[in-house]
Amino acid sequence: MCGIVGYIGSRDSQGILLEGLKKLEYRGYDSAGIAVFDGRKLEVRKSQGRLANLEEKLDGQPLRGYVGIGHTRWATHGKPSDVNSHPHTDNSSKFSVVHNGIIENYLELKAQLAAKGHQFVSETDTEVISHLVADLYQGDIVQAVQAAVRQMRGAFALAVLTEYEPDRLIAVRYASPLVIGIGNGENFIGSDIPAILEHTRDVYILNDGEMAILTSNGVELLTTDGNNISKEIFHVDWDLLTAEKAGFDHFMLKEIYEQPRAYRDTMMGRVIEGTEEGSLKVQLPEIGMTDEQLRAIRNIHIVACGTAHHAALIGKAVLESLARIPVETDVASEYRYRNPIITPETLVIVVSQSGETADTLAALREAKRCGARVLAITNVVGSSVSREADDVIITQAGPEIAVASTKAYTSQLIAFYLLGLYMADKRGACEQAQITMVLQAMQQLPEQVEAILSQANVLKQTAQALVKHQSLFFIGRGVDYAVAQEGSLKLKEISYIHSEAYAAGELKHGTLALIEEGVPVIALITQDELYEKTLSNIKEVTARGAYVFGVINSGQESEISQSVDELFAIPQTLPLLTPALSVIPLQLISYYASLALGNDVDKPRNLAKSVTVE
C-alpha cells in the first residue's frame, strides 16, 4: 500500500498535502514526507513514523510553495527509516518522486544506473525511479517519465515533480490506484478520493497505463505511450467516511474485495521465469538461509494465534506435501510453556498479521533462546516480529483495519505456498514441472476470487437464513478442516453465533449428539482424495436432520446436490490451493450474518485488532 498526494495551484501546498496524507494514513504509516518547490528549488522534508513526526519537523521549518507532492509509507523495500522515506530524489535533487507499488526490476535498473555513476542512498525501489527519470530527462519531464515507465516492471502509482518545470506535476498509474482532483485554478493528485475530497468532488479516475499532466489551470490526460485520451469526470457524492471505505459499507467488506489485489501483490516479484522455457519458479531474496542451511532443516514448528494459526494449519499441509519436511503447529500461547523440542535443525516459523501479538512475540523469543532460526510471515514491515526474526516474508495485504482478519489470512496462505515451493525447489523435493504447474494455478487465483465475489448476493441470502439459529457446525477433512476452523472463528467473532469446527470424520465420536432437526452444518468438500469419506460424513448429519450447506468444487454440482440442501461451487484449482478460494464464501457469510444481526462488523465486542497482552 502507501498513499500519495500532489497539489498544484495558488495556495500554500504544505497544509493541503498534510491534510491529504492524514486521510491516507490508513494505507500505511511507517513514514511520511513531502517535497515542495519553494520558488527557487525543490525542498524535501521526511520523517520515520507517523505523520505527526513530519508535522513536528515542519513546525520549525515550514515549506512554502504552490506545488508539491507527498507520501505516507507502508514499507516494502527497506525498513522504515528517514532515509527510506519518500519523496525520493536523484543525486542533483532536481527531481522528486513519490510512489505506491513495487518495481519488480528495480535491482536491474539500479545496477544499470549505478554503472553510469548514480549514487543511491536508500534501500528502496522508488529511489531508482527518481534517478531513472533524471537520467532520461532531456528538457521535457513528460517524455522523461514516459521513457522511465517503459523500462519499469511492476505496479506503480507515481507523482513526479522537477524543479526544471515547476508549473507541471506528473501523475502515472500502473496497477496501483490514483485519482486526479479537478479544482478551480488548482488541481490535485490522491491515491484515493478521501485524500482530495475536502477540495473537490470532481475527479478523474486513472486506469492502468494512463497519466495526467497537471497545471494550475488544467489537467491533460494521456496514455503512457503518449496518446491523448478523454475521460468522463466522476462526480463524488459520498460523504468522507463512505469515501474512506471506497464506497463499501464496512472496512471488512472492502478488505474482502481487496483480496485479488493482495494475492497479486504478494506474488509480485516472487514468481519469476525459470531456466527452462515456459517454466516458473519462486525467488525469495528476503530469506537469508543458504541452500545448505535450507537442506539441513529437519523439522519445522509453525507458531501463531487465531486466524494466523489457521493459516499455519494450511502452511503445515503445504510444507509437508511440497517440501516433505515434518511440521508441527502450535498456538503461540501454548508453545513456550510446553518446553518444545528444538534442535539446531529446527526452523521456527511465526505468523502474525500485525507483528505485535504478545503471545507470538514471546514464542519467537523462546524459539530464539533455544537456538532456533526464526522465519516470520507478517504484514507489517518494522513490526517487532519483523525486527526480531532472522528471515521475514512480508505479505502484501496492505493495512487491515477491520478486526476480523480476511485479506491478511489469505495473503499468509499465498506466502506459505511460495515458501513451500521455494523450499521444495532448494531441497529437490519437487520436479520443476510440478512447481510450474502449482505457480500457474496460483496465478489464476485472483481472477477466481473475483468470480466468487461476483456471487456475494447468493451468500447474503444464506447468511440471512443462518442468523435464525443459535448454533451451527463447520466440517471438513484435510485442508478443508483447517478452512472450516477459520470459517467458524470468523462467524463467531463478528456474528456472536456459536459455532464449532470439526474434522468431518471425528463427529461420530461425540459431537454428532448435538445434531438435530434443522441444525445448520457448513460442509467443505473440495479434496478429491477425501471426497467419498466426507460425503459419508455429510450423510451422517443429514440423516439426523441437519440442514447442510456444501462448499464444493465447480463441476460436481449435480452429483453432490442430492446430498446437501444448498451448495456453493468454487472455481476448480489444485487441491492444495482450494483454501485460498473456499474461505472467501465463508468470509462473506460471516460478514452478512453480522450485518443482518445489526452488529458492529468492523469492531466486534470484546476484541481488539492487535493483541499486545499475553
Write down the least CB distance from residue 469 to ligand F6R, Å: 21
CA 546 from centroid of its chain's CA atoms? 37
Q: Is 590 in the site for ligand F6R (CB under 6 A)?
A: no
- Beta strands, E only, 163-233: 169-174, 179-182, 187-190, 202-205, 210-214, 219-223
The answer to whether residue 352 forms part of the interface with ligand F6R (CB under 6 A) is yes
State the catalytic residue, choosing from 57, 94, 492, 609. 609
Q: Does 329 bind ligand F6R (CB under 6 A)?
A: no
Interaction pattern, residues 436-475, with ligand F6R; x per rule: CB under 6 A: ----------------------------------------
Whether 609 is catalytic: yes
Nine-digit cell at 379? 504484514
Of 35, 256, 404, 521, the residue at the interface with ligand F6R (CB under 6 A) is 404
305 near ligand F6R, rule: CB under 6 A: yes
Q: How far apart are CA 27 and CA 297, in angstroms?
A: 37
Decide if 357 contacts 612 (C-beta within 8 A).
yes
Among 306, 399, 420, 550, which residue interacts with ligand F6R (rule: CB under 6 A)?
Answer: 306
Does residue 354 interact with ligand F6R by CB under 6 A? yes
Which one of 126, 176, 346, 353 is in contact with ligand F6R (CB under 6 A)? 353
- The alpha carbon of residue 601 and the mean position of all alpha carbons in its chain are separated, in whole angstroms, by 20
Please check whether residue 422 is in contact with residue 284, taking contact to mean a CB–CB distance below 8 angstroms: yes
Question: Considering only 71-79, 125-133, 336-344, 351-359, which stretch makes contact with ligand F6R by CB under 6 A?
Answer: 351-359
Which one, 487 or 550, has the nearer CB to ligand F6R? 487
Per CB under 6 A, the segment of 50-58, 179-187, 255-263, 353-361 that binds ligand F6R is 353-361
The reply to whether 2 belongs to the active site is yes
Complex with ligand F6R: residue 187 or 410, whichever CB lies closer: 410
Least gap, CB of 257 to ligand F6R (angstroms): 17
Secondary structure in 3-state letters for 67-132: EEEEEEECCCCCCCCCCCCCCEECCCCCEEEEEEEEECCHHHHHHHHHHCCCCCCCCCCHHHHHHH
Terminus-to-terminus CA distance in the chain, angstroms? 30
Among the listed ranges 213-221, 300-308, 315-323, 591-599, the one in contact with ligand F6R (CB under 6 A) is: 300-308
SS3 271: strand
- Choose the binding region for ligand F6R from 78-86, 116-124, 350-358, 476-484 (rule: CB under 6 A): 350-358
Least separation in angstroms between residue 609's CB and ligand F6R is 7
- Judged by CB under 6 A, does residue 405 bind ligand F6R? yes
CB closer to ligand F6R, 305 vs 589: 305
Q: Toward ligand F6R, which CB reaches closer, 307 or 346?
A: 307
Residue 259 sits in the site that holds ligand F6R (CB under 6 A) = no
Single out the segment in contact with ligand F6R by CB under 6 A; choices: 220-228, 264-272, 352-360, 549-557: 352-360
Q: Which of 202, 149, 161 is nearest to 179 (CA)?
A: 202
Regarding 180 and contact with ligand F6R (CB under 6 A), the answer is no
- For position 491 contacting ligand F6R by CB under 6 A, the verdict is no
Contact between residue 34 and residue 7 where contact means Cβ atoms under 8 Å apart? no
User: What residues form DSSP beta bridges with 202?
Assistant: 235
Chain-centroid distance of CA 572 in Å reads: 23
Residues 512-531 that bind ligand F6R (CB under 6 A): none
The reply to whether 308 sits near ligand F6R by the rule CB under 6 A is yes
CB of 331 to ligand F6R, least distance (A): 10
CA–CA separation, 36 and 30 (whole Å): 21
Contact 367, 342 (CB under 8 A): yes
Measured from the Cβ of residue 235, the count of other Cβ atoms closer than 10 Å reads: 9
Give the Cα separation of 426 and 194 in Å (integer). Answer: 46
Residues in contact with ligand F6R, total (CB under 6 A)?
A: 14
Instruction: Determine, following the binding rule CB under 6 A, whether residue 389 of this chain makes contact with ligand F6R.
Output: no
Residue nearest ligand F6R, CB atom distance: 306
602 makes contact with ligand F6R (CB under 6 A): no
The span from the CA of 475 to the CA of 246, in Å, is 35
The three three-digit cell numbers of residue 427, written as one number: 531441497
Do 182 and 203 form a contact (C-beta atoms < 8 A)?
yes
Q: Does position 411 bind ligand F6R by CB under 6 A?
A: no
Cβ closest to ligand F6R, residue 354 vs residue 534: 354
For ligand F6R, the binding residue among 53, 223, 444, 610 (CB under 6 A) is 610
Whose Cβ is closer to ligand F6R: residue 33's or residue 306's?
306
Residue 543 C-beta-side C-alpha neighbours within 13 Å: 9
Half-sphere exposure of 93 (CA within 13 A, CB side): 10
Q: How many CA atoms lie within 13 A of 84 on its CB side?
A: 20
Which of helix, strand or coil describes residue 29?
A: coil
How many C-alpha atoms does 535 have within 13 Å on its Cβ side? 14
What is the binding site for ligand F6R (CB under 6 A)?
305-308, 352-354, 357, 360, 404-405, 493, 610-611
Which of the residues are catalytic? 2, 609
